[in-house]
Amino acid sequence: MNLNAFLAVENANQRVDDVFGLEFHNGWEARDARHAAAQAVGSQGASFARRTLAKGLAAVSRGSAFAVRRLDDVVADDLRRAVAPGK
């Protein structure tokens, strides 16, 4: 392991220790430190994959919610017609 790689890993480990230590009392400051530590480690590829997967799952969730609402409206209309008096 060359010196630059070793120093980068040590720096990333120190940032992670700082994030999970008691030095950060402010939530925004801790979030920024976690973000900096993640960038130092080089997890951009994994982050991109997680973000893309989350967006895909959200789209499926929204689509299924729309379908359920639509089905609920149709069933409610059918039920209203069945219960309507005198027809």
Domain that holds residue 49: 44-87
Spatial distance between the Cα atoms of 33 and 38, rounded to a whole number of angstroms: 9
Task: Specify the residue for token string 């230590």.
Answer: 21
On whether both 32 and 1 belong to a single domain, the answer is yes
Instruction: Mark whether 67 and 87 lie in a shared domain.
Output: yes
Same domain, 36 and 22: yes
pLDDT digits (tens, 9 = 90+) for 9-64: 888 877 776 666 655 556 667 677 777 777 766 655 667 888 889 999 999 999 99
SS3 86: coil
Position with higher pLDDT, 65 vs 21 = 65
Backbone angles phi, psi at 36, to 5 degrees: -65, -40
pLDDT band at 67 (very low <50, low <70, confident <90, very high): very high
Q: With contact defined as beta carbons under 8 Å apart, do 40 and 12 qualify?
A: yes
Contact yes or no for 18/33 (Cβ under 8 A):
yes
The verdict on 54 and 33 lying in the same domain is no
* 37 and 52 both lie in a single domain: no
Question: Domain total for the chain?
Answer: 2
Residues 20 and 7 in one domain: yes
Position with higher pLDDT, 33 vs 5: 5
Q: Are residues 17 and 30 in the same domain?
A: yes
